[in-house]
Structures are given as structure tokens and as C-alpha cells.
Amino acid sequence: MPEQKEEQIRLQKLKMAEEAGIEIYPEKFDKKMTLAEAFELPEGEKTKTAGRLMMFRDMGKLAFGHLQDNTGRMQVAFKSDVLGGENYKLLQKIIDLGDFLGIEGEIFVTHKGEKTILVNQWTFLGKALKPMPEKWHGLKDTEIMYRQRYLDLISNRETMERFQLRGNFIRAIREFYWQQGFEEVETPTLLHKATGAHARPYITHNNAHDIDVYLRISHELPLKELIVGGFEKIFEIGKAFRNEGIDPSHLPEHTHLEHYCSYWNYEDNMAFTEKMFDHLFDTLKLPRQISVTGKDGEKREVDFTTPWQRINFVDLIKKDCGLDVSQYSDAKKLIADLKENNIKIEDMEKMGLATLIDNLYKKVSRPKIAGPVFLYNYPIELQPLARRNDEDPRIVDQFQLVVNGWELVKAYSELVDPIDQENRFKDQAKLKKAGDQEAMEVDYEFVEAMKYGMPPISGWGMGIDRTLTILTGQENLRDVVLFPLMKPKE
């Protein structure tokens, strides 16, 4: 029946329940156990539980239903001679799919072998005034799933389990850091400068100070300032914001994890990354072999068993297109050589050198990587905050963890020389003035902090959403984010 008509029928049932003296939205219910815990009880055991009614089949003086909570579903049975004739008739008159019920009863097994709760007392706990889409048989409309995630969670058990895994994943990460002696900290979301990564920021205005501020694009610089202050092993899980395009691997708001450790270099962080993933796979009981859909839409079987392969970034690009990107100091020369080699990159004339090299890698090398692979040794232009390599000053000590085209982790030995850092910031400012919108802002407050002295440091960052997309076999970050940003309906 049309949704509007069904809503009217449900409102009539609500009025009927009120006239019968039932509290439609009661204050509380003493739920003693989850449905999953009730299901584990032996036959004859008593239980008191609650959930949403997902199925109701009336057979006259006997009715069967399914209750659902966050742990799953369980069958329940209502009998007229157990509840009493009038009480049973009231249930029949006022109940709808989607309503919440509290029940007390006894476990029994039907002749078909299904464990069931025989209800001897029921409590009305909340009326659903709107029917669920698709008659409870599973929500398939992707737009509704993203806009109204609560309907997706109700209808699709797999969705609920995926987001429960997300919560357990973040808890396991925190536990791992604490085991390794790290301390959790929090740094500002609103910053004076948009820096710490190559990305276009969101700008907003603070009325109290009458200043423009930026939503952070990374956690990096405040965390490094905490190392100046004396912290040695710190991590932060929080939101970062990048005002860029939206595609299956990018969202404007994402959950980001960063850590910084004094006295480490990037190679220490490679070993730490493998150790972390071993912990996550073991703790969450995930399979090491996962089918991963790449940026090109191709599925590949990826084996996360450690140790992982290590590949030199500069050598990889040279092998794939013949160009040594570490030899270039400006974008014009590289653009000329790309044209000579018939390599086309969209809008390359507008790109600075760092953005151009990154796009070249994404075109000629990244599609070929199954992974997991540590790519290391990057040209200095790609990472203005990383430490120069001792043997080759054109290279920085950085790595990325790549899995079938997805960059999951970036880490490097940090630049702790304030003079070098200030000069690199100035180079970024020139690029920004020339039109590179992803170039970093100059942050002189951070340079000032550096001048008070920093130990050797290695920093590390991971996109929580991207990693979970891979580990849960999804193809789009929106499928692991409860409420992704959507355009408003007309």
C-alpha cells in the first residue's frame, strides 16, 4: 500500500494503544540480555530482552515474530492461552513491523528445530510511524543507504557488522599503541595555516577573533610541536578535511590516524607498520588473503602476510616510463620530456613539480602494484616536511604503503632542521603564488617551535576509512562511513 496510507493506519493503531492505557514511548526497560545471549540459553531457561519487531506472522491463537537488536535476530512466539485472550488481541491490534517490544519468556525449540522465546509478558517500547522500505527484505538503494544509514543498518545485517568491525578496529589500534608505550593526544581542528599535506583546505571565519581559519588537512604540525614540548611517543585519531573532489577513494571529511616517535627513522616505522597490521589481523580474526578492487576497477587477491615487499619509488617510475624524476628541479622540463615520450597527463601545464610527479606515478606505476608494497625514496619536492636522505639530498626518507592502487599509509623521517624547513616553506609559497592550490602554506609559528630544538623523529599517517574499505572488501569509502556527505535533495 502507499506509504502515506500506511502511516495513517499506524497512527490509528497508536491512538488505539493510547486508549488502552499503553505508554507509547516509555522511559526505560530493564533489558537483561541481548538477543544473541538469549539464543545461547538452554531450553527451559527464562530470559528478559528487547528489540525491534522485524517479522510478525499471525496464525489465529498463535503468532510468531522475529526481534532484532544490534547482536542479531531471534524468533519469538506469542500464544493466546499464555498471554491471556484480551492481552493477545491487544497485541494483534496495535503491533506493526518496526515497533520496539520488551519481552519476558522461556526458551523452547520448535518442531522445526528453531530456538524460540515463548513470551509470557510483553511491553510496548516504541511505535514506528513509517514503514521500512522494501518490506524488510534488505535495502538495496545505494542513495538511501548513504542518506538514511539507519535504514541500511536495520535492513542489512552485513552493514551493522561492518560498522561494528570499524569500532573494534579503532579500539584494537588504540590498544596496540598503548601496548607499545604511546600516549594519545588531541590537537586543534581549526588552524591558522592549512599545512601538513598537499591539499586544498576549507576556510571558515571565527567571529570572536575576526580571523579566517582553516579546517586541518592533517594533524602533523601540532603533533610535532608536542615532541618539542617533551612527548616522545604520541598518536591521534581524528577528523581531517580536504576540499577536493569526491570519488570512491576520497571524501572531504575523513578519519585520520597519525603518530610520531622520537629517535626513530622511517625504517623503524616500516617494521612498526607490519607489526601493527599483524596485531589487527590477529585481534580482529581477519583473513590475510583479501580480494581488493583497485582504482581501475580490477580485483586482485592481496596477501597481507608480513614481511612486505620494498620498492624504490624513483627506480620504479624510471623502469615504467624511462624518466628519472629525481633529476628534475622544475615542472617545465619534466612536462617537455613527458610530451617527448608521448605521456599525457590531464592539466599537467597547470601543475607544480610535486603534483606532476605524483600524477606521473599514478599513471604509469601505481596501476601495476598489487601489494602490499612499501614504496620508499621520494624526490624532495613531494614531501616538504621530510628529512633529506644522507646519501642523496634530492631524495627524502619516506615510504608509502600501497595496496592495489590504494595508498593506506605514509611515513617518513621528519625534517628537524628549522633553517631547511623555512626554506622549503618559502619554496611552497612560490608554488602557491604561481597557482598550485595544493601547495602548503608557510607556517612560521611551527618554524619558531622547531628552533627550540627537536630530536630525531619519524612520523606516520594512515587513513582509517581507506584501510577499512580494503579490509572489509568494499569498493567505496562511503561504505565504511556512517554518514558520508551528500548533496541535499532538491
Instruction: Report DSSP state, residue 447.
Output: H
Domain-by-domain residue ranges, the chain? 3-131, 155-480
Identify the bridge partners of residue 311 per DSSP, sorted by sequence position.
375
Pairing type for strands 253-262 and 373-379 reads unpaired
Rounded-to-integer distance, Cα 232 and Cα 211, Å: 33
Lowest mean pLDDT across 121-130, 343-352, 394-403 = 343-352
User: How much is the pTM?
Assistant: 0.88
Greater model confidence, 425 or 306: 306
CATH architecture of the domain 155-480 equals 2-Layer Sandwich (3.30)
pLDDT digits (tens, 9 = 90+) for 41-88: 999 999 999 999 999 999 989 999 999 999 999 999 999 999 999 999
Does residue 428 register a pLDDT over 80?
no
Instruction: Give residue 241's pLDDT.
Output: 93
How many CB atoms sit inside 10 A of residue 289's CB? 10
Alpha carbon 292 to chain centroid, angstroms: 16
At 196, is the pLDDT very low, low, confident or very high (cuts 50, 70, 90)?
Answer: low
At 140, is the pLDDT very low, low, confident or very high (cuts 50, 70, 90)?
Answer: low
* Mean predicted confidence (pLDDT) in 19-31: 95
Pairing type for strands 457-463 and 395-403 reads unpaired
- Mean residue pLDDT across the chain: 91
User: Percent of the chain, pLDDT > 90?
Assistant: 66
Instruction: Give residue 134's pLDDT.
Output: 63
Read off the C-alpha cell for 283: 585481534
Check if the beta carbon of residue 216 is closer than 8 Å to that of residue 252.
Answer: no
Does residue 298 register a pLDDT over 90?
no
Which class is 3-131 in CATH? mainly beta
Rounded-to-integer distance, Cα 73 and Cα 76, Å: 10
Rounded-to-integer distance, Cα 117 and Cα 42, Å: 11
Does residue 3 register a pLDDT over 80?
no
Pairing type for strands 395-403 and 373-379 reads antiparallel
Rounded-to-integer distance, Cα 346 and Cα 341, Å: 15
Read off the C-alpha cell for 1: 500500500
pLDDT digits (tens, 9 = 90+) for 321-371: 888 888 888 888 888 888 888 888 888 888 888 888 888 988 888 888 888
At 216, is the pLDDT very low, low, confident or very high (cuts 50, 70, 90)?
Answer: very high
Does residue 206 register a pLDDT over 80?
yes
Instruction: Give residue 136's pLDDT.
Output: 44
